[in-house]
Copies of this chain bind each other. A is one copy, B any other.
């Protein structure tokens, strides 16, 4: 069994010291043009593959950035991560991605695992964590960024927005269109703290306008699916048929709700208006298009990545980068004049 070659083997083959080989594999280091070529030729010849593990240990730089998101199967978190990966990758960092399943206990485990890989920064989603997770992150000695939220008591840095304020945008829009009896469809209280924040934001926004905020449908364990959105809409149409508009915790559940209306011959928006959250592709193409709020996920990724890159160079005190979500009005809440 052939052992995988090391720098030593390459050095021997090229007739130089290992140090020169090491230098030949880096940029901005002085190695003769001739020598460098010879070394790379020898390396290719031997099938040498650089060993980051050893390099990381000696240089105490892992070039990892740990990132946790609740779920891989979510276009918005995916967009955030893709944006991060692009920026961090360009700067020579590798993203170590994990998903928590919306479970802060699982998040804690994941953070512990990740920290043992000595990432140079950690980016987490949301502002709620277990005490041990908080403590691990605080003591990790690397920049920590919380995203997709504006925590009351941040661990370190923040790149996010107020989920509650997004609901204010929607309620404002609906109230402006003259809707009064407005319902909310979301998940049960559970792991999805951003969903729970939006529910709270809905209640606050309604109360601030003197509107009844008791039409709250709990549609199952969050995050709720299209099917659960449909079931919730069925329940709503049966139990509170005088409802004029409904805000769903996400576009996916909103679309499910829309399909239930279609199956029943209930017209949207003439009989009932529907709004969602997230600006998923589907909101822009379904018939009618859905009113929603765009949380600018790629912007979150970009900003978080930039922040991390800055902080790795020059550590700095906590900062909050506020993202401004954008109301996108669709056909599903547009009342005929």
Number of A residues, CB within 8 Å of B? 52
Residue A165 CB within 8 A of the other chain:
no
Q: Are B62 and A73 in contact (CB under 8 A)?
A: no
Identify which of B95, B227, B285 contacts A285 (C-beta below 8 A).
B227
Chain B residue with Cβ nearest A281: B226
Identify which of B52, B73, B96 contacts A79 (C-beta below 8 A).
B73
**In the complex, how many angstroms separate the beta carbon of A276 from the nearest chain B beta carbon?**
14
B residues in contact with A136, CB < 8 Å: 49
A99 to B77, CA, bound (A): 14
Chain B residue with Cβ nearest A75: B73
Identify which of B72, B113, B286 contacts A78 (C-beta below 8 A).
B72
B residues in contact with A9, CB < 8 Å: none
B residues in contact with A79, CB < 8 Å: 73
Residue A53 CB within 8 A of the other chain:
yes
Residue A250 CB within 8 A of the other chain:
no
Which segment, of A13-21, A115-123, A200-208, A303-311, faces chain B?
A115-123
B residues in contact with A85, CB < 8 Å: 98-99
B residues in contact with A227, CB < 8 Å: 281, 284-285
* A-B complex: 3 closest residue pairs judged by Cβ atoms: A73-B78, A72-B78, A52-B116
Q: Provide 9 A-B residue pairs closer than 8 Å at the C-beta atoms, listed in order of the A residue.
A: A49-B115, A49-B136, A72-B78, A72-B82, A94-B117, A227-B281, A230-B285, A255-B282, A263-B287
In addition to A47-B139, A71-B78, 10 A-B residue pairs with Cβ atoms within 8 Å of each other are: A4-B141, A52-B116, A52-B117, A53-B56, A53-B62, A53-B117, A72-B78, A72-B81, A85-B98, A263-B287
Chain A residues in the interface with B (C-beta under 8 A)? 4, 47, 49-54, 56-57, 62, 71-73, 75, 78-79, 81-82, 85, 94-99, 112-113, 115-118, 136, 139-141, 225-227, 230, 252, 255-256, 259, 262-263, 281-282, 284-287
